[in-house]
Amino acid sequence: MTSDRPRRSDATRAAILDAARERFAADGYERATIRAIAADAAIDPSMVMRYYGSKEKLFAAAAHFDLRLPDFTQLPLEDAGTLLARHVLARWSDDETLFALLRAGVTHETAAERMRSIFADQLGPQVAKVCPDPAEAPVRAGLISSQVLGLALCRFVLRLPPVAEMTEDEAVRWLGPTLQRYLVGY
Amino acid sequence: MTSDRPRRSDATRAAILDAARERFAADGYERATIRAIAADAAIDPSMVMRYYGSKEKLFAAAAHFDLRLPDFTQLPLEDAGTLLARHVLARWSDDETLFALLRAGVTHETAAERMRSIFADQLGPQVAKVCPDPAEAPVRAGLISSQVLGLALCRFVLRLPPVAEMTEDEAVRWLGPTLQRYLVGY
DNA sequence: TCTGTTTGCCAACATCTGTTGGCATTCAGT
DNA sequence: ACTGAATGCCAACAGATGTTGGCAAACAGA
């Protein structure tokens, strides 16, 4: 249906998406100009418009993200918090899409909505599987989000020195118990 | 020296600062235009330039913030975390300057630097007074910042529903123990 | 080989941005 | 009352931004 035979322009489309993610992640929504993205992708700005329609739609196309959470029921419950902290920090480091969402989400409603749906649709259900009362799952998932996003904000975006210079292990050691409590404690 | 007799334009200057804080808080640095700020202050855009020199300097002038932390040595140590959570949440609610810093800090280096200095110079020293080893104070202050900023981000900026709808008491109940641990625990 | 579509670039548009200079009015000191 | 400074607005600038339309070259199907 939607996927025909591969087009000759697929490489260009992909290059645009890559450049867009990079620019949105580094500069936020408004500072990431179509001209700069096009330059990074080594094509003309008008191509971006032809293939993605508008800056808004380009962002929507570039900002798909999957946290790739493990199945929480398969996790040893007593150190789920630590494993979750490690997984999320790693996921954060190897995919700049989350930066794009974080930087853009602060000023751009589309990005904020995308962020909300990631934590509601991907994290929420997993939390519901293991937390004491499934009705509390949204709140617990929200708290986990707050600590995870807060650390990412301080570490990667604001670059508060002590948080930015922390090793990943150190960060996991501190966050693990916090997430564990938000997950199953009181 | 710097402060002469009050000028006739002081009201205008103050109106500009107020409008600037409001716009920066609501829209972030780039979307908060000088024209919009001037319109809110009911004066001409050129006045903003005359009194503050540039948009950059206007932001710097508008983004002064004091957390007004209590003296931690005067606090009952066993619920310092809870008191800190309550204080910070309250402070956040009644001064939009922090929003301006948060929204702008994500894309604007001046704002990020200001944010860093707030948490390093205001929070850090207080933490040093009560944490087990003063050498750990920066890291502990950084962790506290991450949780506090993360909650503010989710609650006020991204508006994750479960976090945004939480009562302040509920938020304090969840954050208290976390901050307590970052403050004095392991 | 011919034809229509796809891919790409160029030039331009309308608008918005921070910023500047000039001119009128109002105020303060004498 | 006179003078110089302070205050305010208007008009305009130069540059950047998202976006559009047209035209050339490369391609694919017949």
Confidence of residue B73 (pLDDT cuts 50, 70, 90): very high
B8 touches strand D (CB under 7 A): yes
> What is the distance between the alpha carbons of residues A71 and B186, in angstroms, rounded to a whole number?
28
Task: From residue B49, give the alpha-carbon distance in Å to each of B8, B22, B33.
Answer: 17, 18, 12
Of A59, A62, A19, nearest to A41 by C-alpha is A19
Both tokens of residue B145? 């910042």
Q: Each residue of B28-44: pLDDT tens digit?
A: 999 999 999 999 999 99
Specify the pLDDT at position A6.
Answer: 76
| Alpha helix ranges (H) inside chain A | 10-31, 34-40, 45-52, 55-62, 80-93, 97-105, 109-117, 124-130, 137-152, 161-165, 168-184
- What's the residue count for chain B? 186
Q: Each residue of A23-56: pLDDT tens digit?
A: 999 999 999 999 999 999 999 999 999 999 999 9
Nearest by CB: A112 against B138, B158, B166? B158
A119: which chain B residues are within 8 Å (Cβ-Cβ)?
160
Q: Each residue of B53-63: pLDDT tens digit?
A: 999 999 999 99
Q: Each residue of A163-184: pLDDT tens digit?
A: 999 999 999 999 999 999 999 9
Mean pLDDT of A105-133: 96
Give pTM, 2 decimals.
Answer: 0.95
Nearest Cα residue in chain B from A162 = B139
Nearest by CB: B105 against A27, A30, A158? A158
A30 touches strand C (CB under 7 A): no
- B148–A151 CB contact, under 8 Å: no
Q: On chain D, which bases lie within 7 A of the protein's CB atoms? A: 6-12, 16-22, 27-28
Specify the pLDDT at position A171.
Answer: 98
> What is the distance between the alpha carbons of residues A84 and A74, in angstroms, rounded to a whole number?
12
B39 touches strand D (CB under 7 A): no
